[in-house]
Structure 1
Amino acid sequence: MSSISASKRIKGWMMYDWASQPYHTLILTFIFGPYFAEQLIAHLSATGLDEATARAQAQSIWGAGLTIAGVSIAVLAPILGAIADGTGRRMPWIWIFSACYIVGATGLWIASPTDFPTYTVLAFFILGMIGVEFTTIFTNAMLPSLGTKEEIGKVSGDGWAWGYVGGVLALILMLVFFAENATGVTLIGSAPLFGLDPEAREGTRFVGPFVAIWFALSMIPFFLWVREPKGTGMNIGTAVTSGLASLGKTLKSLPSRQSLLAYLMSSMFYRDALNGVFAFGGVYALGVLQWSVVSVGVFGILAALSGAIFTYVGGFQDRKFGPKPVIIFCIIALIIICLSIISITRESVLLISVSSDSSLPDIAFYVCGVSLGAVGGVIQSASRTMMVRQADPERMTEAFGLFALSGKATSFLAPSLIAAATALTNSQRLGITPLIGLFLIGLILLAWVTPDGEKVK
């Protein structure tokens, strides 16, 4: 253990962001999410639904899948975090949930357009989401051991930026060599590699196994270079009992810890809204602007590239000003981006009419994507450094479990509000308006957050 330098430990830890980002970039947002919507819309239309209703219902079903995953994570995250703190071990949990990630992602291969197994596909997607979210909890809890309070903001920013670079590279590889468009060819006009059948959409469906392989290979440096101290020796039964007791004590203390409680509540709303933007962005572009999966993928490349650049820069701002001012700036920018997105249709941009064959709506949406990637990466990086400042150093995994809980306790809110608004208005464009309200609530609650947290009594 002593032969592994601090620099190598940081690099190994950063490889987790590189390994896991493609699940968010390729599966959740830019490749599989739109593909799922596309196939479900076709399936629903074949049953006799009109196109608008089929699109709205597909968005609602996708939202339901995200809701189930979110509730599962919200219930288990703080409990497992408390148990991990009791045993002093995080690495075994990372191994377990890495397996969930790999199995869940690989299972998406079955999403054949000829006999689209909607709910089985959703089950694999949910398993993969559980895997990525729980591995994130346990790796985030290692962040404080990588530097001082001032240094970890930069470490977090560098890690998140490195993750975006991995997401960009994975997305480019997927679009260039595998994901086929309506004519059966990839972005460079060739057939998918390895003889994958474009008629059966095997190139696009390969996104699941591709992400699983990427994760498995990329986690090798993490498991080789990242070490944790020896455990407490506490057996699992005692760890469960003491972990639940500690969690109960922490929850009871929250009302007296104003800053921590306000931050958990604030992040609960603004992260839920941000996840809603990412989860429905590709589906929105496919439905409202009639983009292809490949076009959505190009949109994703631009968003991820800007995310890599600006998150790296944001790490310096985090170290200089602290995470709170960075988060406030990002929420205001995200509200502006959402308002801009809502104003974009095939016939208008910023509520100004354009001809139906104009490319201006596409350009405007690309600009929104670049802005979203930039701000989204910065706020997520700053959010985890803010959590480190608010948490009890002795209960860091439990704290990130609560952080996950705050991010998932209302994770059903954005998808269900979008689903409800979409169903009520029968409009994908108006369906995403609830996100603005969630961002505003998160912004207001930050007024009660102390930048450096409160001393634990």
Structure 2
Amino acid sequence: MGSETARAIARDDDGGAAADRRRQQQGWYFYDWANSVYATSVLTVFLGPYLTDVAKEAADTHGRVHPLGIPVSSGSYFAYCVSASIVVSVLLMPAAGAAADRSGHKKRLMGVAAYTGALATTAMLFLGGDRYLLGGALLIVANAGTAVSSALYNSYLPQISTPEERDAVSSRGWAYGYAAGALVLVLNLVLFLAHDSFGVSEGTAVRICLCSAGLWWGGFTLIPLRRLRDRGPADAEPGAVAAAPAQGWRQLAATVRDMRRRPLTLAFLLAYLVYNDGIQTVVSQASVYGSEELGLGQSTLIAAVLMVQVLALAGALWMGRLARTYGAQRTVLGSLAAWTLILAAGYFIPARAPVWFFALAAAIGVVLGGSQALSRSLFSHLVPRGKEAEYFAAYEMSDRGMSWLGPLLFGLTYQLTGSYRSAIISLVVFFVVGFGLLARVPVRRAARGAGNAPPERI
């Protein structure tokens, strides 16, 4: 009788733990829902073309602006600002990861970073005229906020899901993000196309769309902050947050030394660093390419990105199912081959041909969500327990750490050639090299090397 009672209590405990895990997962999904609107409406659609126009308004007779006294082509200004924001993010993330792991206040730090980025995005309402310096500064702050908060957010994945659940949980998170992006883009499209009916100019409509992304981001961040729970270290250090700036880089050095004992984890990070740079650059520069090189209107770009959001939602879920059959690594490799073909097609796409641009957007949508979601879940298997925040800070630095190189290459190629087509085709190198590096990583052995039991298919 006693053994039966013990088994019943164990079942109840397991059921309670599963229910708590599901509740945290549902809250976790909502940060993708909150934050992805920034990536979609701000970075992908509105800010690139609008900030480029603002920079052109402020440019001298040679078409250049002079931030910090440095002559910069107005057409390259947005790309350079994205690159600078990534450098700032890389400097901040080690401190955030160190503070989260040492203090046990990961959720609080995630909230601070999220609301800093949301506030900067909301302030884009005041971006107008020739205020290109304000636009660049707000972009840098907002991008740093999303980078730091995403690093801490991603580090919850191994805490709230079992190894068998990770691909599905990560894919659902991305699906939530793409669903939110599609919904807000529909609202943006209505405002932008009917701005005269609302009594506002086209520029004001764009600024309202930028501002609304910040309000959405801040509002829905409340849900994960209420549902996620900190799992503080047993030896939590009360002064860790205040000491984080000094400790951050020391912690990063310690994390790298720890990873050196797990060289396969480092090998995965290197591969991800390369191919994700290509993905992030395509996403951030697509609207500039469409407007400046292909001569497409803002309404066409919004509709194309809306298509990307809808198909990326479905693609994330579809590729999650493919991963259950073929494994996440093979599925990501297939997506990288598809990215290479997409960029090659983008180089040859004719100007003022929206049908071809929509076809390209559809292809991007199918592979975008899955390649990012499965990369995140793959890495979660390579993280030792208790070191999630510092390892995911390193992961996010791989996400952002060389992602300054793609926009920089894009901007420099345009500045040297005057052609956005040359700029877009230059990004193929990231996918080719990333494919080769990822194919060489034995991820099952890497998971075991981190002390984790890998799922049946990985």
TM-score bin (small chain): 0.7 to 0.9
Asked whether 1:32 is paired with 2:32, we answer: no
Q: 2:215 aligns with which of 213, 216, 241?
A: 213
Q: TM-score, normalised by structure 2?
A: 0.87
Instruction: Confirm or deny: 8 A CA contact 2:96 2:148 kept in the other structure.
Output: no
Instruction: Confirm or deny: 8 A CA contact 1:333 1:375 kept in the other structure.
Output: yes
Instruction: Confirm or deny: 8 A CA contact 1:310 1:378 kept in the other structure.
Output: yes
Q: 1:227 aligns with which of 226, 229, 245?
A: 229
Q: 2:343 aligns with which of 335, 338, 345?
A: 338
For the residues of structure 1 that align with 2:440 and 2:130, how far apart are their CA atoms? 48
Instruction: Give the match for residue 179 of structure 1.
Output: 192
2:302 is paired with a residue whose SS is helix
How far is the alpha carbon of 1:36 from its aligned partner? 1.9
> Where in structure 2 are there 5+ consecutive unaligned residues?
1-15, 65-71, 452-458
Asked whether 1:267 is paired with 2:264, we answer: no
For the residues of structure 2 that align with 1:170 and 1:429, how far apart are their CA atoms? 30
Instruction: Confirm or deny: 8 A CA contact 2:101 2:232 kept in the other structure.
Output: no
Instruction: Give the match for residue 350 of structure 1.
Output: none
Instruction: Give the match for residue 21 of structure 1.
Output: 36
Equivalent runs, 1:80-91 vs 2, <5 Å: 80-91=96-107
Change beyond 3 A, Cα 1:450–1:164: same
One-letter amino acid of the counterpart of residue 303, structure 1: V
1:70 is paired with a residue whose SS is helix
For the residues of structure 2 that align with 1:75 and 1:406, how far apart are their CA atoms? 12
Instruction: Give the match for residue 69 of structure 2.
Output: none
Instruction: Confirm or deny: 8 A CA contact 1:86 1:242 kept in the other structure.
Output: no
Q: 2:127 aligns with which of 106, 111, 118?
A: 111
Equivalent runs, 1:238-277 vs 2, <5 Å: 240=244, 245-277=250-282
**Percent identity of paired positions between Structure 1 and Structure 2:** 23
For the residues of structure 1 that align with 2:222 and 2:119, how far apart are their CA atoms? 17
Change beyond 3 A, Cα 1:25–1:401: same
Cα deviation 1:320-351 (Å, max 9, x = unaligned): 433211210111000000000011132xxxxx
Instruction: Confirm or deny: 8 A CA contact 2:262 2:449 kept in the other structure.
Output: no
Instruction: Confirm or deny: 8 A CA contact 2:350 2:356 kept in the other structure.
Output: no
> Where in structure 1 are there 5+ consecutive unaligned residues?
51-55, 347-358
Change beyond 3 A, Cα 1:149–1:320: farther
Q: 2:384 aligns with which of 381, 389, 392?
A: 392
One-letter amino acid of the counterpart of residue 425, structure 2: T
Instruction: Confirm or deny: 8 A CA contact 2:56 2:75 kept in the other structure.
Output: no
Instruction: Confirm or deny: 8 A CA contact 1:327 1:382 kept in the other structure.
Output: yes
2:381 is paired with a residue whose SS is helix
For the residues of structure 2 that align with 1:64 and 1:99, how far apart are their CA atoms? 24
1:78 is paired with a residue whose SS is helix
One-letter amino acid of the counterpart of residue 92, structure 2: L
How far is the alpha carbon of 1:423 from its aligned partner? 1.6
Asked whether 1:96 is paired with 2:107, we answer: no
Instruction: Confirm or deny: 8 A CA contact 2:289 2:420 kept in the other structure.
Output: yes
Asked whether 1:402 is paired with 2:364, we answer: no
One-letter amino acid of the counterpart of residue 314, structure 2: I
Instruction: Give the match for residue 128 of structure 1.
Output: 142
Instruction: Give the match for residue 9 of structure 2.
Output: none
Instruction: Confirm or deny: 8 A CA contact 2:111 2:225 kept in the other structure.
Output: no
Instruction: Confirm or deny: 8 A CA contact 2:82 2:404 kept in the other structure.
Output: yes
Instruction: Confirm or deny: 8 A CA contact 1:98 1:131 kept in the other structure.
Output: yes
Asked whether 1:455 is paired with 2:449, we answer: yes
Cα deviation 1:287-341 (Å, max 9, x = unaligned): 1121122211011101111001111122222344332112101110000000000
Instruction: Give the match for residue 317 of structure 2.
Output: 312
Q: TM-score, normalised by structure 1?
A: 0.87
Instruction: Give the match for residue 76 of structure 1.
Output: 92
For the residues of structure 2 that align with 1:40 and 1:247, how far apart are their CA atoms? 37
